[in-house]
Amino acid sequence: MLGRQIQTARMAEIAQSLGVAPSTVSRALRSDPRISAATRQRVEEAAEKLGYRPNPLVSALMANRRRRGGAGEVDVIALVTNYGGRESWRSKDVCRWEFEGIQARAAALGFKIEVFPLSEYRGSHERLQTTLRARGIRGVLLGFSREDSEQVSFQTDGFAVAGLSAYFPSVIVDRANFHGFYNVQLALEHIWRLGYRRPGLVVPDLNNQISNNHWSGAFLDWQRRLAKANRCEPFIPIDANDQTAFDSWLAATKPDSLLVYKAPVRRFLARHRLTVPDDIGLAYLYRTSDEMGRAAGIDGNLSAVGAAAVDLVVEKLNANRTGSGSHPKEVLIKGTWHGGATLPSRITPLPGTSPAPFRRRGQKFPSR
């Protein structure tokens, strides 16, 4: 195994540094006569400076596309949404981060993303598919549907389809998603290392279901390895704003820290005159833009999730595979932990100790 991977710049990065289109960079690097000598030189110099190395597999696939005459059916990938409008999903951090990854990865591979809201087709996937076929668009990415929207089907026959995260859950296709189980246990490891011994999980039931119950599953798996006196039941309410239910859970479990998603726990705690972090530590499963830089928690690397979803579509297009397939797969992207002021350290770890409770089965943990 290589100790260090060679880092390469993507064509999109070169294009951004020069203020040109990724297609211009692609053509310049293969000495296309449509690109002036001066531009080719600028691109080559920028590529050298950024350490760009062409991926031979991608180069071969792109060459194969050009040999087929640049047929339009693989130039555009349709991003199908069911969020009530063309732009409304863009206001959500999660969607915006995923979309940035989608666009960047598509551009790097020579594709264009075009958004197709189902609302513009009266919610009918049949009408939408008629349009896609008429335009020769075969690549489809299913993404950005409201959590409470009714189940919408999409007939995958004749299309290279992949799903983004848990959107369009009723359609069984290859998917790219965040690694919910890993992310929860990563957060719990860091919470433990900081000296907290009774962490509690606070996530709405609907969002836990969207994670395929990986959040609660990871938390309960982690809890069972603790001494019974330190175990906390997770708080998974139907209504994330249910103050009364939270109060009852807080009194019964007495957590010393919280791992939270989409619940107004600061407001809940304030009614008990509890403050963060003086009285209780706080970390977020997915930090919002406002929370980044000051709150502890997980960065879900959602732009990488979006990029991985595009890879699934392009993989199918290049293999000329359509439909759902017999064995749909799911690519899981691991998150990254970031410390913050909401979760200060409560202990000074002893040299050589590793108190993280999921490192080894059967491990005995230090007392409080």
pLDDT of residue 242: 96
Residue 228 is predicted with a pLDDT of: 87
CATH superfamily of 11-54: lambda repressor-like DNA-binding domains (1.10.260.40)
What is residue 312's predicted lDDT score, i.e. its pLDDT?
97
Q: Record the tokens describing residue 237, joined without a space.
A: 């309410």
pLDDT at 67: 40
Distance (Å, whole) CA 50 – CA 42: 12
Domain spans of the chain, in order of start: 11-54, 72-171+301-333, 180-300
Cross-strand bridge partners of residue 260: 202, 284
State the DSSP string of 228-243: GGG----B--SSTT-H
> Which of the following CATH numbers is that of domain 180-300: 3.30.1330.40, 3.50.50.60, 3.40.50.2300, 3.40.47.40?
3.40.50.2300
Q: In the chain, which residues have pLDDT < 50?
A: 1-8, 67-74, 354-368
Residue 152 Cα distances to 10, 78, 312, angstroms: 35, 16, 21
Closest by Cα among 150, 155, 168 to 127: 155
| Statement: the pTM of the whole predicted model exceeds 0.85 | no
Q: What is the DSSP letter of 74?
A: G
pLDDT value, residue 70: 46
Tell me what pLDDT residue 226 has: 87
CA distance 345 to 299: 20
CA neighbor of 142 nearest in space, from 119, 173, 182: 173
Which pLDDT belongs to residue 58?
A: 55
| Residue closest to 50 by CA, chosen among 100, 19, 7, 103 | 7
Single out the residue of 212, 256, 219, 214 nearest to residue 235, CA to CA. 219
CA 44 vs. chain centroid, Å, equals 33
Percent of the chain with pLDDT over 90: 53
Query: Looking at the domain 72-171+301-333, which fold is it?
Result: Rossmann fold (3.40.50)
In the block, tokens 């690097």 appear at 29
Fold match between domain 11-54 and domain 72-171+301-333:
no
Q: What is the pLDDT of residue 87?
A: 61
Residue 318's pLDDT is 87
